[in-house]
Structure 1
Amino acid sequence: MLSLIDTHHHFLDPQAHRYPWLNDPGQPHHRYGDHSRLNRPYLPADYARDTAGVNLLGSVHVEAEWDPRDPMGEMRFIGSLRERGGLPSVAIGQAWLDRPDAAAMLEQLAAFDFVRGVRQKPRANAAPGGAPGGMTDAAWLQGYARLGPLGLHYELQTPWWHLQEAARVAADFPGTRIVINHAGMPSDRSEEGLRSWRSALAAMAAHPNVAIKISGIGEPGGQWRLDANRRVVLDVIEIFGVDRCMFASNYPVDSLCASFQDIFDGFASCVRDFSAEEQAKLFVENARRIYRIGVDRRS
């Protein structure tokens, strides 16, 4: 049975709390397509059902785009789940780094002993080119500068064409870790698209304070195809090396594409020729180290 720490999943309850992308009418579809069937609670019992075929050693809840007016509410909700059942092991909170109250919000998030970092999807263009994205804004950078001193890292979810901006941030703040979400979002699987994506990843990999999660690599229409994803998985590992890559489910969102078991069987198939030590790093040990699972966050 495969042992793993799942570095990216979401617990949510849209019946009890507000998630604009699930609760509010007129929201655009997810990049996989219609996501209306996600508008239901997904709690530890549901996650236990989906992960029954693996030896789950820990997990990381990543903010689920909870009501932005109350980012602490989500961490209180996650804290209550941890008290009842022990999962998630740690969490990533929501933080709007360019808001006037960013300093206070970050201090409150850092006060939760299970919070390891924050995520805010910075302003981005829908396609390559165009104006610079949100990571160039002075207010955003001022908020970002507060992360390192608070012991928090930054979870980056942005299209690959904004990774050059992120590389400058990584260089300017070498003491703050960045964890790239969803393999840098290789949405364009054409040869030209993948070549540009790889170049953008290489710019980030040049900075030792950047790690990456291999997750969220389904395709529009709800497909998780091993023949299409094997190349993505192996390219990420080649660029970043086995010490800075982690696997993750992105559940329940990626239930739109495949079962939890199929996703991790796919990952395992991609790295079957790696050594046992390398596989242990990719599935467990890098996650334990980067997310400081089992240690005091402030140590």
Structure 2
Amino acid sequence: MREDPIEPALPIVDPHHHLWDREGERYLLDDLLQDTSTGHAVRATVFVQCGAMYRASGPEEERSLGETEFINGIAAASASGAYGPVRACTGIVGFVDLTLGDRVTPLLEAHLATARARFRGVRNRTAWHPSPAIRSNLLGPPPGPLEDPRFVEGARRLAGLGLVLDVWAYQTQLPLVAALARAVPELTVVVNHCGGPLGVGPFAGRREEGFAAWRREVLALAALPNTLMKLGGLAMEVGGHDFHLRDLPPTSAELASAWRPVIQTLIEAFGAQRCMFESNFPVDKGMCSYGVLWNAFKRLAAGAGEEERTALFSGTATRIYRLDETPS
């Protein structure tokens, strides 16, 4: 599905996408740039960890340095201007196992040494639910990292270095995210994918009940000033929408209508200065195209003022990931 871009001059920073080259599945710089060249004014992007290009040998806790090295190289290539105006991977959110507790500091310093101008934070594998129907990761994480006292200690070390914690958690885990944010108030916690509203497994056919439960938890989370929300990820199957099963892909108007209750709740709760629209590509590509996705977001933000729209589409991401400090 292709659409003419709505408000094509509105600057966009995409604060959440992945790159990988897996057996039978490839999404690298050229694929990303093909998506970003659909008429929207995408200026820069933030890469978020996905287990890509880990080192094949060496200490287990150091292997994720391969991903940071890989993405930093792509960011440098993009920054050369040889691939067009989009500055891809200007910010990098990598992986360091925070359950290592106070042992994470030298690992974080190694990632910073690898991509100092671009390394902005960490995300661990935390989205977990006991139902086998609720799964959104290639590799299912073990239950419990958010509850591990060592994770809190690792998060303190992260905050001490001025780095951000991205968290992907389902709605049932949001009290754990809130507890973490309270335990480390100096830590900036960026909650991914609208706080994981669920619509499959035990939540299938119970949208109103599930929405009410999700809303209670995100409102409690929003009361904590060190939390922010990424608005996106709603095209994943765990959300319960069935656009991927239809004969034709959805229009931006259809997406906006389906997602409005969630997006509106979050913007009202967190405020535009603590929200940022995200693509979550290529994961969300299974339901919709990149251009249509951003049109849907623009429809959803149509009633916002100019300052709010700037925050939602570029300002919050630029500030939180300090993208104005990175090479261009």
Distance 2:178 2:32 in 1: 34
Q: Give the alignment's TM-score, normalised by structure 1.
A: 0.84
Who is 1:6 aligned against? 14
Distance 1:219 1:92 in 2: 20
| 1:104 and 2:102 are equivalent in the alignment | no
Distance 1:278 1:177 in 2: 20
- Cα drift, residue 102 of structure 1: 3.1
- Cα drift, residue 123 of structure 1: 6.5
Point out where structure 2 has 5 or more consecutive residues left out of the alignment: 1-7, 80-87, 135-142, 200-205, 245-249
Who is 1:89 aligned against? 90
Who is 1:26 aligned against? none
| 1:65 and 2:51 are equivalent in the alignment | yes
Q: Of the candidates 121, 126, 151, which is equivalent to residue 130 of structure 2?
A: 126
Q: Give the alignment's TM-score, normalised by structure 2.
A: 0.77
- Cα drift, residue 124 of structure 1: 3.1
Distance 1:124 1:204 in 2: 18
After superposition, residues 138-177 of structure 1 pair within 5 angstroms as: 138-177=149-188
Report if the CA contact (8 A) 1:125-1:133 is conserved: no
CA deviations on 1:248-298 (whole Å, 9 max, x unpaired) are 10111111010001111001001111112211110011111111012169x
CA deviations on 1:101-134 (whole Å, 9 max, x unpaired) are 5333222123321111000022633369xxx832
Distance 2:77 2:176 in 1: 41
Distance 1:271 1:156 in 2: 24
| Number of aligned positions between the proteins | 271
Q: Of the candidates 269, 284, 291, which is equivalent to residue 321 of structure 2?
A: 291
Report if the CA contact (8 A) 1:216-1:249 is conserved: yes
| 1:212 and 2:229 are equivalent in the alignment | yes
Secondary structure of the equivalent of 2:323? coil
Secondary structure of the equivalent of 2:121? strand
Residue type at the aligned position of 2:29: P
Q: CA RMSD in A?
A: 2.1
**Which range is displaced more, 269-278 or 71-80?**
269-278
Report if the CA contact (8 A) 2:236-2:283 is conserved: no
| 1:242 and 2:272 are equivalent in the alignment | yes
Distance 2:326 2:285 in 1: 32
- Cα drift, residue 71 of structure 1: 0.3
Point out where structure 1 has 5 or more consecutive residues left out of the alignment: 15-22, 24-38
Secondary structure of the equivalent of 1:99? helix
- Cα drift, residue 83 of structure 1: 1.6
Report if the CA contact (8 A) 1:11-1:44 is conserved: yes
Distance 2:236 2:129 in 1: 19
Percent of residue pairs identical: 31
